[in-house]
Structure formats: structure tokens, C-alpha cells
Amino acid sequence: RKRSLCQEDDENACISLGMVDEQARRMCSMWERGVHCDVTLKAGQCTLAAHSVVLMAWSDWFATFFEDRFGDTGGNDVELTEVEADALRAVVTAMYRREICLT
């Protein structure tokens, strides 16, 4: 496993989740810029835009959730009442950046 620090002076250790290919870098860049995000995740005061296809690729729960909603015209806001804001932010960030920062 490749290990890297988020930044030299950062006390949070990061563990790489695998090689980052060009497509993954592009998806991460699109997410960071909010380009073509089609879903909004909400947990407490945290609101994150994301791509449903990325969420579905990483998570069976999201895959089932979005497949069940296929064709639903009720909007693309997902309220996650049982998830803490910091946890949501960490998980979604890990899906795009392919690393988890441990605090």
C-alpha cells in the first residue's frame, strides 16, 4: 500500500486507495469544480454536490438507492439523516480522490 501525507505539515495521515488514472483525475476535477454534478447530498449542515454514477460505482447502498429512484422526478436531493456531516464529507472525498485522511 502506498502511503502519503496530505501535506508535509499536516498531522492527518492519508492512505492511498490505489492508482489514480486519468479518468479518475478528470472526475475528481469535475467534482471539485461542480461540473455536471447531478445529485446533492445533505447531512446536517453539510451539502455536497456529486455525480450519481460515482456514488453508485463505489457504494452498493447508493447503487440500490438510485436504481430504485430511476425515473423519479422528485429531484435529486438526498437527505442522509443518520450520517454525520464530517463522515459524509470524508467518504465522498475518498470516492473521488481515492484516499482517506485519518484524523
Indicate whether this model's pTM tops 0.85.
no
The helix or strand, by DSSP H or E, that contains position 91, with its residue range, turns out to be helix 85-97
| 6-29 average pLDDT score | 69
How many CB atoms are located within 10 Å of the residue 74 CB? 6
At a CB cut-off of 8 Å and minimum separation 6, what does 23 contact?
A: none
Q: Does the pLDDT value for residue 2 go beyond 50?
A: no
CATH number where 92 lies: 3.30.710.10
Task: Name the percent of the chain lying above pLDDT 70.
Answer: 74
The helix or strand, by DSSP H or E, that contains position 62, with its residue range, turns out to be helix 60-68
* Nearest-angstrom CA–CA distance, 75 and 64: 17
Domain of 18 in residue numbering reads as 3-102
Tally of domains within the chain: 1
CA torsion, ordered 54, 56, 60, 61, to nearest 10 deg: 100
